[in-house]
Amino acid sequence: MIVVGGGIGGLGAAYSLTRQGLAVRLLESAPAFGEVGAGIQLAPNCTRILDDYGLLEEAKSLGVVPDAMVMRDAVDGGELTRLDLRDLERRYGYPYLVIHRSDLHGLLLRACQRAGVELVNKAQVTSYENTDGGARVTVAGGETHEAGLVIAADGLHSTARRQFIDDQPVSSAYVSYRGTVPAEQPRVRSVDLSEVVVHIGPHCHFVHYGLRGGELLNQVAVFESPKALAGKEDWGTPDELDAAFAGTCDFVREGLPFMWRDKWWRMFDRDPVMNWVHGRIALLGDSAHPPLQYIAQGAIMAIEDGWVLGEHVARNRAEDGTVDWGATLAAYEAVRPEHCRRVLTTSRKWGELWHLDGLAREQRNALLRARDTYDYSFTDWLYGPTALTPQEEQEMFTPIPLTSADVPEGRHVA
């Protein structure tokens, strides 16, 4: 079989399917494998899969297993709520882990190499088509590759998706700046590296946590771009970064000089779609469900996709080793699109909640302060075992209306 795309999702799928005894060829457009970015958060629904793959201990050695996740108000710096991540590990059976994207990517790449995945670089896939016995892809230059199944893990701007689904990425008008700070800097010595912290503010937020065993502090600054809202092409620029955080607390503003200012990430997602399988071509990862990052599930969903596919291969393989791809893909499409639809829509709502202003901000803060640290009603649907069937999918949480908050009259600032 063929996997298109050598990112985290593609490598995860290639490894999952190779574990099931399948011969996998992975086509990557870049001349070398690599991952751009900084930190990534892996919740228990992902570390559970890494453990099943035999990769969790290596991941933990490369990352940090934090003690707590803390949410603060970006304007006054006050704590709003927290998760006890050690208790969370006891509840779900697996840790919450933060790791550098390149370290996770490298871990999966090495696993694929050990497993015997055929890794092909400089293979830009330009088209996909179904054949009588499977599917075929064509790469730039005209070469073709055929297999019984093609997995399109080709990202937000997926060529495969474009052939089957007439839609476009959706701009959130938000932009993300990233940066890492070496441990010897006073900035790092002033923070608790055992915590993952997010400061949420009007139209902006700021995240920080330790990486590589505390050698680095990872920082992420996200804000809504006035230029994007005005329809300008040059949006998300460093001057907007500084202006967006001008009203935040000292700790947040003091982190801005450490952000990389020569590159930034405009934040897009896509509206959910429920049709991921087209003959013997299946979408996976961001080609199927690119989310906004507010609940930190983008890479996790991609890894889950590959694991679910592998599990259904095992369930639909005959004694002679042949796989019933029709049944496998039907089972994949029966469970994954609905789960990922929930994640995409929840990510959008969570982002709106983070960025409230005025009375709504005060109502949100009151509700978060009232939350019990050990209340898992908002994470059980997400952090439990990855569902293999619709019946195994956990029930969603019940939203709490902002208007239910008790905010003293006259306290809020419009």
Active site residues: 209
Enumerate the β-bridge partners of residue 145.
Answer: 137
Q: How far apart are CA 326 and CA 316, in angstroms?
A: 9
Q: How far is CA 342 from the centre of its chain?
A: 14
- Residue 15: name the closest of 152, 123, 108 by CA: 108
Tokens of 393: 């999918």
Phi, psi of 182, rounded to the nearest 5 degrees: -60, 150
CB 327 within 8 A of CB 381: no
Distance of CA 120 to the CA centre of its chain: 25
The rounded radius of gyration (Å) of the Cα atoms in the chain is 22
How long is the chain?
414
Question: Whole-angstrom Cα distance, residue 391 to residue 10?
Answer: 27
Q: Which residues in 183-259 belong to E strands, given as ranges?
A: 195-201, 204-211, 216-224
Query: Residue 401: CB partners within 8 Å, gap ≥ 6?
Result: none
| DSSP class of 111 | H
